[in-house]
Amino acid sequence: MTAPTAEVGLVLPPLTVRLTRTDLVRYAGASGDFNPIHHSDHAAATLGLPGVVAHGMLTMGVALRVVTEWAGPGAHVLSYGARFTRPVVVPDDGIGAELQVEGSVTSVEGTTVTVAISAVSAGEKVLGAARAVVELAAPA
Amino acid sequence: MSIPPESWAGREYAPTAPYEVTLGKIAEFTAALGHPAHDSPPQEAPPTFGAVVANPAWDALFTDRELDLRLDHIVHGDQRFTFQRPLRAGDVVTATLRIDKVRARAGAEIISSAVTVHDAAGEPVLTADATFVHTR
């Protein structure tokens, strides 16, 4: 597989991911984060949330795929950060929530590329100032 | 609570018990993020697997009796990872949490924390900086 090349302004292939309650339970088990607001309507309501919400780390982890799937297996993420600006509410309706992820390159220094990531669910930005810095595989 | 929030900054917890990163756990976590299946199982963990190794360190904070926090009243405000290298199957790591800063608001504490993760040789692997909002 050829390593990708990047220039400032490059828009990465977007990603649309559907999250259901089952996905939240799967992530809880895989991550060890059993905060009940991610599976219990009662706990979510107690905290004033409109319903069960996705783990911020699930949203963040899924959103990073827009970078890692573009960068390919030889690349390494050097840093990744985001603010959790709005919760991703995941209704128990058999449909769940849709997360739309986009990425665009904001800086390139050699093989080190910074990507600004946008993640939107139900028309709202759910991640703020999401940025990943990735070291691309050196060209062969 | 027995300790005022303003004086929580600087608290550091003991390193977590050594955690072994395994192929099975990487596969489970990778699937939970919906990554497309690969022909061969991934040896390297996805970057946000850092949260898995940070979790017991976060738990040490959340269950600190002197802070009187409630898990179901805690929301993750922001998260930043910095990687010295990827986590790989076979790594045995520990995580150490320090409270950097606490801002107390009416009915809430905003806790800035830093978790450093080291491998069995004592080399740094990653840092996980998080802000948690705890409402009373």
**Residues A13-19: what's their mean pLDDT?**
97
- Note the pLDDT tens digit of each residue in A48-100: 889 999 999 999 999 999 999 999 988 999 999 999 999 999 999 999 999 99
pLDDT at position B2, please? 64
Contact B79, B129 (CB under 8 A): yes
pLDDT at position A2, please? 63
**Residues A3-24: what's their mean pLDDT?**
93
Chain B CB contacts of A72 below 8 Å? none
- CA distance to B33, B58, B64, per residue, from A65 (Å): 8, 25, 34
pLDDT at position A74, please? 87
**Residues B6-15: what's their mean pLDDT?**
93
- Per-residue tokens: A64: 């990073």
**Residues B40-51: what's their mean pLDDT?**
91
- Best residue in A49, A80, A114 for a mutation probing chain B (most B CBs within 10 Å): A80
pLDDT surpasses 90 at A139: no
pLDDT at position B134, please? 93
pLDDT surpasses 60 at B1: no
- Confirm or reject contact between B28 and chain A (CB < 8 A): yes
Smallest Cβ–Cβ distance between B76 and the set A69, A77, A84 belongs to A84
pLDDT surpasses 70 at B39: no
pLDDT at position A140, please? 60
* 3-state secondary structure string across chain B: CCCCHHHCCCCECCCCCCEECCHHHHHHHHHHCCCCCCCCCCCECCHHHHHHHHHHHHHHHHCCCCCCCCHHHEEEEEEEEEECCCCECCCEEEEEEEEEEEEEECCEEEEEEEEEEEECCCCEEEEEEEEEEEEC
- Cβ <8 Å between A77 and B47: yes
Is residue B7 very low, low, confident or very high in pLDDT (cuts 50, 70, 90)?
A: confident
Chain B CB contacts of A137 below 8 Å? none
Tell which B residues from 42 to 101 touch A, by Cβ distance under 8 Å.
46-48, 51-52, 55-56, 71-83, 85-86
- Cβ <8 Å between A64 and B46: yes
Q: Please state, in angstroms and rounded to a whole number, the distance separating the CA atoms of residues B79 and A20.
A: 23
- Note the pLDDT tens digit of each residue in B79-90: 999 999 999 999
Is residue A1 very low, low, confident or very high in pLDDT (cuts 50, 70, 90)?
A: low
Nearest CA among B62, B47, B43, B121 for reference residue A63: B47
pLDDT at position A41, please? 95
- Cβ <8 Å between A64 and B48: yes
- Note the pLDDT tens digit of each residue in A28-46: 999 988 889 999 999 999 8
How far does B95 lie from chain A, in Å, by closest CA? Answer: 15
- Note the pLDDT tens digit of each residue in B66-121: 998 988 788 889 999 999 999 999 999 999 999 999 999 888 999 999 999 999 99
- Cβ <8 Å between B34 and A69: no
- Note the pLDDT tens digit of each residue in A103-130: 999 999 999 999 999 999 999 999 999 9
Residues in chain B, total: 136
pLDDT surpasses 80 at B38: no
pLDDT surpasses 60 at B22: yes
- Confirm or reject contact between A33 and chain B (CB < 8 A): yes
Chain B CB contacts of A76 below 8 Å? 83, 85-86
Residues in chain A, total: 140
pLDDT at position A61, please? 98
